[in-house]
Chains A and B, each alone.
Chain A
Amino acid sequence: MSRDSEPLYVALLRGGDQRDSALSELRVILARNLRKALSSYARADDSFLEDAVQDSLLRILDRLDQFEGRSPFVTWATTIAIRVAMSELRRHRWRDVSLEQVISDAAPGSHWGTNVASRPDGQTERAAILESMYNVIETQLSEKQRKALLAELKGMPQEEIARHLGSNRNAVYKLTHDARKKLKHGLEAAGYSADDFHSAFAK
């Protein structure tokens, strides 16, 4: 597959009527694809889709040089349109929710709680894994990592966490990835493998 064999892509690179025609065609295709992609989202009505297509076209044109022809152009363009549209849906859904609301204003240690470990029927292995995990959370994660990880577990989108932290989605991903790595290595150092904690919590 070559990007030069993608007629829409080639036409967008050219100027004049060919580009205008390609843009019109891409607009129709993206509107149809977004409608299918977001069919289960009530907020994705005609007005929303129209705005999302317009924003997506701008983003796609801005990134045209990143298309390498490793997939059909329409598929590549649709992934960008979905990212644009879903980011907007998430922004709208979470617009009135603060990071503090999500993680509450209690002291850091109490966020993680011990609901499972302290249950009378809690199994010894499960409690021991949780104790090791809380220990890593308290001693090895930074306050920012704890906040981001907790907010993510509570369902807050990374883009929203980023907005509250004055950061971006990739930086939040790195923050929580580093936190997960510390937790994994901490649990391994305590003698627990991924299989151990999978099986302990599958019971």
Chain B
Amino acid sequence: MPLSKKELEGLLRLVGLTKDSEINCEQCLALVAEFAEHELAGKSVPEGLKAVEQHLSVCSECREEYKALQRALGDLNNEPRK
């Protein structure tokens, strides 16, 4: 089952985005709520959260979870916070 052109492009895209030091999915989970709040508020990403942004660019599962969080937060933002 050779890789399709799209999969090869995906691999090269991932390789291009790869950093020598990356946080893993568990570390991303610990920081992603804070990252989402910054993004939702339209603030620039602080240095300490840049690793979350990079992780989301290379990890499709964390990215999928982040999109789901954005859907929830979009509505949360219109409701009183607890």
Binding site for B on A (CB under 8 A): 6-8, 25, 29, 33-34, 36-39, 66, 70-76, 78-80, 82-83, 86, 90, 103-104, 106, 110-116, 129-130, 133, 149-150, 152-154, 157-159, 169-170, 173-174, 177, 180-181, 183-184, 187, 194-195, 197-198, 201
Contact = CB atoms under 8 A, between A and B. Distances in A.
A72 B73 CA distance: 11
A154 B37 CA distance: 32
B13 A198 contact: yes
Interface of A is mostly: helix
A88 to B, nearest CB: 12
Contacts of B61: 86, 90, 157-159, 169
Given A133-B15, A173-B25, 14 more contacts: A38-B68, A72-B81, A72-B82, A75-B69, A82-B69, A83-B29, A106-B1, A113-B3, A153-B7, A158-B59, A170-B25, A174-B24, A180-B58, A194-B15
B7 A33 contact: no
A92 B22 CA distance: 29
Interface of B: 1-5, 7-18, 20, 22, 24-26, 29-34, 36-37, 58-61, 64-65, 68-69, 71-76, 81-82
Contacts, number: 144
Given A74-B81, A75-B36, A86-B65, A66 B9 contact: no
Chain A CB within 10 A, most for which of B71, B74, B81: B71
B82 A73 contact: yes
A113 B17 CA distance: 23
Nearest to B14: A180
Contacts of B3: 111-113, 115, 150, 153
B69 A79 contact: yes
Contact of B5 (A38, A116, A173): A116
Interface centre among A39, A83, A116 (most CB of B within 10 A): A83
B18 A177 contact: yes
